[in-house]
Amino acid sequence: ESLDVFVEAWDEDTSDRPDPIAKFRGNLIVAEMQNTPSAFRMVREDANFVNKVRLESYGHIICARFHYGGDCSRKCIPDPERYACDVNGYKKCRRGFLGVECDQRDYCLNHTCAEFAECKTTLSGFECWCFQSKGPECHFGYDPCAAELKTCSGHGSCTPGPGRYNLSFKCKCDVHWEGQRCNQRRPSCLVALETNRTLCQNGGKCRDLAGNVGAYICVCPPGWWGKHCEKRTAVVYELALLTTVIVGICLVTLTLVGFVFDVCCKNCLHHRKPSFAYMSSAQLSKQRLNCPSSGSGTGDCAASLL
């Protein structure tokens, strides 16, 4: 934008009236004149005057109050609460306000996030961001063990780590759980074996029960039952007992029927007192003992039960 400037020069002397002595015309660029006075060229247009009048011109645009810009079209009226105006007419937000128009509250002003986090103002408040996410751990003075049920999943005790903002923590898990947050279930059979080395007996296999923490069953081989496969089944026990009885009867029968007694009388003394093997009274009653005498004074006696 530019302005046309016209200037007439007059000479005042002792004559009756002032006389025109020169005319000038120039063009002023507004944008070049706003901040500091600037020279601009004026061209003499009269041809009727014979003189050496010369004009040096300078221009400076001064906007009206609260108006700014090269053409003074930018308006900025300071607000004592929200913003002030800079030299170019742009709003400069006061403490506690944000935005181009300084119409947003800066909720981060009085709500400090952790030192390593970034505070972001929202329409309804503020958010603390850290590690590419937002959450309570990004707030000043956050204690990760304050919500122990959440930190250690309700399956252990929480201990805060060192540091001003308690960034680290350690969970001491219950016996049936493991992992950084105690959220991984340990095998029930493994836990039971830690205290009972003979968990499933007689060749039984341990199996975890899904859904019940610490629950397990022993899958027993044939012939055994019980929580730890420690009991024999009734059928097997009765068969074993019957087998033992039958074997015992057979042995007794074979002993009574097939046992052969050999009675030998050796080295009989001169008093005719023979030495012989003992028999039962029933056997002696059925057998006659013959001891023929030998020349040496001894007798040989033998009897057989047939």
Q: Is residue 128 part of a domain?
A: no
Please list the residues that pair with 216 across neighbouring strands: 208
Q: Is residue 276 part of a domain?
A: no
User: Which domain range does residue 214 map to?
Assistant: 198-253
Q: Considering only CA atoms, which of 72, 55, 47 is closest in space to residue 7? A: 55
- Asked if pLDDT for residue 263 goes beyond 70, the answer is no
- Phi, psi of 23, deg, nearest 5: -135, 140
Q: Is residue 159 part of a domain?
A: yes
Domain count, the chain: 4
Q: Is residue 271 part of a domain?
A: no
pTM: 0.37
- Please check whether residues 7 and 57 belong to one and the same domain: yes
42-76 burial: b if 16+ Cβ within 10 Å, else e: beeeeeeeeeeeeeeeebebebeeeebbbebeeeb
CA distance 166 to 188: 34
How confident is residue 72, by pLDDT bands cut at 50, 70 and 90? confident
Would you state the pLDDT for residue 112?
77
Q: Is residue 300 part of a domain?
A: no
How confident is residue 278, by pLDDT bands cut at 50, 70 and 90? very low
Q: Is residue 40 part of a domain?
A: yes
**How far is C-alpha 31 from the geometric centre of its chain's CA atoms?**
62
| Percent of the chain topping pLDDT 90 | 13
Q: What is the mean pLDDT of residues 39-67?
A: 82
